Structure 1
Amino acid sequence: MSEQDNHSADFSADSSGDNPEYHVPVLLQETVDGLQIEPDGIYVDCTFGGGGHSKEILKRLGKNGQLLAFDQDADARRNIPDDPRIVFVPHNFRHLQRFLRVHKLTQVNGIMADLGVSSHQFDEADRGFSIRFEGDMDMRMDKRQTLTAFEVVDTYDEQRLHKLFEQYGEVTNSKTLARTIVQVRDKMSLKTIANFKQALHDVVKGNPNKYFAQVFQALRIEVNDELGALKEMLQQIPSLLKPGGRVAIITFHSLEDRIVKNFFRKGDTEETVDTDPFARNVPEAPLKVITKKPITASPVELKRNPRSRSAKLRVAEKP
């Protein structure tokens, strides 16, 4: 996939003040600028990670401002700043509305999400996200869940594997790959990254690193139901934003970007066929698009952080 996550980028530190070893935030100023922070407002960071975006939001909030930070990865807790204005929610952002209610909030001034996988997760060998290390085929963002990448490759039938690699990874020979997995898994275990790569060595097309990056991306999306979670989160946003409130979302591959673009434009996460050419019965979109085209990284940021090359930021506003 041309916009796949970069497993081998040089994650250099920047001057944002977050934890550079954990994750360098992309499009930092552009994202927080897009939210148009009100000093006494209430904001949500759906993907806290290393805390870079959250800390920039806190800089712009006054003493009465409030920030809720979601992250299902327990490792993110270590990055929470000592600040009474921030509340950490250790859950997936698909449960956005539920946990806002837990904290007695019905509407907020802004919501943001950075859908990229943190460099920390890629760099932790035992998480199984990266082709660079040996470890189990895991890939769970939330270790409390049971489904792992190994279970996917060990139990899914050939057709399901084919569709997964075709749709989520755009793997060129996804059908052959799926068939080979089903054939070899009875003869050898695919539990580790090394075994998995060795077993599929003969079906690799082109650059092995790029090929397996696409395969791993597809498995990661499936294991964590990333697209399902994104759709659920988006559908909650219009009712959670105050009038004039904004949402800013950073995507890293075309599947996510298409979903966000469709929702911002039409209020629907699926691509719909226009059956009414005269637009007589088209429902009004719940959000107003602010970014007609997605914002991408500047040349300076691209040089500092190569991972930002596939990042796309879209911003919308509640009318």
Structure 2
Amino acid sequence: MSAPTPFSHTTVLLHETVDAVLNDPDGVYVDGTFGRGGHSRLLLQKLGPGGRLVAIDRDPEAIAAASSGETRVSDPRFSICHSGFADMRAQLSALGVEQVQGVMLDLGVSSPQIDNPERGFSFRFSGPLDMRMDTTRGESAADFLARADERQIAEVIRNYGEERFAAQIAKALVARRESGGAIRSTDELSEIVARAVKTREPGQNPATRTFQALRIHVNAELEELEQGLNAALALLAPGGRMAVISFHSLEDRIVKNFIAGHSKQELDRRAMFAEPKPLALKALGRIKPSEAEVDANPRARSAVLRVAERTAAPLPPVHEKRRRRG
């Protein structure tokens, strides 16, 4: 296992998230996105002697940070699994856990991932065009651009980056590939996108949306989120809470709609006087970072924390969704 990276990370909405999710100091909790363990470490400080925390992360460097060196979490109440949080039910079942009192999810990419040029997440650094959160498996961004056709690339950039120049960017990327030049680095991708994007948003690098789109696609982040929310709901005991931090509108829309879909009554005009259906969640609110936190950590600016509590109502049937590629 590789050694933990030296790149630092400032946890967003640290106290707000832990305070929102912790309702039983001796309960079992899940941190589905361990990262460098900011939320986990604070939660462990507040857990009672009978409490337990299971952390999950698909980044091998996050697993290494929790398991070795100065950043190791040496607490008998703590364990960590190398997995995506969509599989949290299976991971916890293997540990003999069928219900939990809380689930935390801090979505998106962490600072150590962004700031390490070798990971390929940022156009600010020269590095290989990888973008995989789990570097032990799957297709890198470079591999996707090497095999996808123009339509597929445009759909990914448009759908996941909300980029209005998606068609032009895809055309330029395929033209570069067909000329014999495979796109293997962050520099190459950034330069091609900059030439294809004719109108630039003030204060934003023209490659911002394309990098976001490719990262989301490579890691199937939105599919992972949908599956993870369903898994979290199925795990929560009555009174248990989920706290989810998102960083862009695509993520937040999924979280918002999921909570609303399980916490709001829909009027059926065909059965106006029917008994209301029991709802599985109670929405507890939406929290944004304070001005002081944003000043201290500009990456917190777009963060949104949504919190919901499990009711005693039975769960509706869940229809499995297949992972879709661009």
TM-score class normalised by the smaller sequence: 0.7 to 0.9
Work out whether 1:50 is the aligned partner of 2:36: yes
Corresponding letter in the other structure for 2:281: L
Where does residue 8 of structure 1 map in the other structure?
none
Pairs aligned (count): 294
Which of 209, 213, 221 aligns to 2:208? It is 213
Which of 178, 183, 186 aligns to 2:178? It is 186
How far is 1:284 from its partner? 4.1
Q: Distance in 2 between matches of 1:202 and 1:119?
A: 28
Where does residue 87 of structure 1 map in the other structure?
79
- Helix, strand or coil: the match of 1:232? helix
Q: Distance in 1 between matches of 2:22 and 2:96?
A: 23
Which of 49, 60, 65 aligns to 1:78? It is 65
How far is 1:157 from its partner? 1.4
Work out whether 1:250 is the aligned partner of 2:245: yes
- Helix, strand or coil: the match of 2:24? coil
After alignment, is 147-156 or 245-254 more displaced?
Answer: 147-156
Corresponding letter in the other structure for 1:220: R
Which of structures 1 and 2 has the larger relative contact order (alpha carbons within 8 angstroms, sep 6+)? 1
Q: Conserved in 2, the CA contact under 8 Å of 1:171 and 1:211?
A: no
Compared CA separation, residues 288 and 151, structure 1 to 2 (3 A): same
Compared CA separation, residues 29 and 159, structure 1 to 2 (3 A): same
Q: Distance in 2 between matches of 1:147 and 1:295?
A: 35
- Aligned positions of 1:1-319 closer than 5 A: 21-76=7-62, 77-79=64-66, 80-187=72-179, 188-204=181-197, 205-206=199-200, 210-267=205-262, 276=268, 284-291=278-285, 294-319=286-311
Q: Deviations over 1:37-73 (max 9, x none)?
A: 3121100000001110001100110111100000111
Compared CA separation, residues 24 and 276, structure 1 to 2 (3 A): same
Mark the runs of 5 or more structure 2 residues left unpaired by the alignment: 67-71, 312-326
- Helix, strand or coil: the match of 1:211? coil
After alignment, is 165-174 or 97-106 more displaced?
Answer: 165-174
How far is 1:216 from its partner? 0.4
Q: Distance in 2 between matches of 1:51 and 1:114?
A: 11
Corresponding letter in the other structure for 2:12: V
Mark the runs of 5 or more structure 1 residues left unpaired by the alignment: 1-18, 269-273
Q: Distance in 1 between matches of 2:204 and 2:291?
A: 25
After alignment, is 208-217 or 161-170 more displaced?
Answer: 208-217
Corresponding letter in the other structure for 2:186: I
Q: Distance in 1 between matches of 2:200 and 2:234?
A: 46
| Percentage of identical aligned residues | 41
After alignment, is 113-122 or 196-205 more displaced?
Answer: 196-205
Q: Distance in 1 between matches of 2:15 and 2:291?
A: 14
Aligned-residue CA RMSD (Å) = 2.1
- Helix, strand or coil: the match of 1:314? strand
Q: Distance in 1 between matches of 2:233 and 2:204?
A: 40
How far is 1:151 from its partner? 1.5
Q: Distance in 1 between matches of 2:158 and 2:85?
A: 26
